[in-house]
Amino acid sequence: MASEKLEKLEFDLRKLPGVGKKTAQRLAFFLVNGDKENALSLAKSIEDAVYSFKKCSKCNYLSESEPCEYCTDLSRDNSSICIVESSQDVILVEKTNMFHGRYFVLGNLLSPLDGVGPEEINFPQLLAFIKELGSKELILALDPSTEGETTINFIADECKPLGLKITRLSIGLPFGGNLEYTNSITIANAFDRRFEV
């Protein structure tokens, strides 16, 4: 008979991306059967990170500082904002060394069937951020998926009256692909060949 605590641990591990039932079971047994200090150190690291990181009040980037390091960096160019879905995407774009403007993290992509509308992608906050910075260009660095395309079209339509140049990433990102799983060279090429929406 399985232990309730072990089952709960397996259930919680399955909440992690890419972890299925068998992997969760293997990890749970590894944690309880292995070095207790290593397992408790992992638990402490998770707790510390979870409580240390918060969304920046300006751009939504997950950071230990408020505002985040990108919003407080005076060397960054206010004239362009790169709009991404997640904080991980910011790190990927930074690795290309091709963008030196500001970032805005949506947190979600529009998906009306799943109840994800403009409020859930922080669109009102994005508009306030654009006005605060006086930006001239929005770069939409979003996944080329159905939800990504819907979000790109929505933001482009809503922001065109503001007289902004609106571009999106181009060549190298396949339809249905994820920015998260794309290498820096491909992202750099897509950045270099972005086009106006």
Q: Are residues 30 and 125 in the same domain?
A: no
The string over 93-120, giving b where at least 16 C-beta atoms fall within 10 Å of a residue's C-beta and e elsewhere, is beebeebebbbbbbbbbbbeeeebeeee
For the record, the structure tokens of 47 come out as 């707790």
Number of independent structural domains in the chain: 2
pLDDT in tens, 59-99: 999 999 999 999 999 999 999 999 999 999 999 999 999 99
**CATH number, domain containing residue 18:** 1.10.8.420
Quickly count: other Cβ atoms within 10 Å of residue 35's Cβ: 10
Quickly count: other Cβ atoms within 10 Å of residue 168's Cβ: 22
pLDDT in tens, 44-64: 999 999 999 999 999 999 999
Q: Would you state the pLDDT for residue 1?
A: 45
Q: Would you state the pLDDT for residue 128?
A: 95
Answer whether 98's CB lies under 8 Å from 140's CB: no
Q: Are residues 67 and 124 in the same domain?
A: yes
pLDDT in tens, 156-180: 999 999 999 999 887 556 666 677 7
**CATH number, domain containing residue 97:** 3.40.1360.10
**Measured between alpha carbons, how far is 13 from 21 in angstroms, rounded to an integer?**
9
Q: Are residues 159 and 139 in the same domain?
A: yes
Instruction: Answer yes or no: is 57 within a domain.
Output: no
Predicted TM-score of the model (pTM): 0.78
Domain membership of residue 137 as a residue range: 62-196
Decide if pLDDT at 126 tops 50: yes
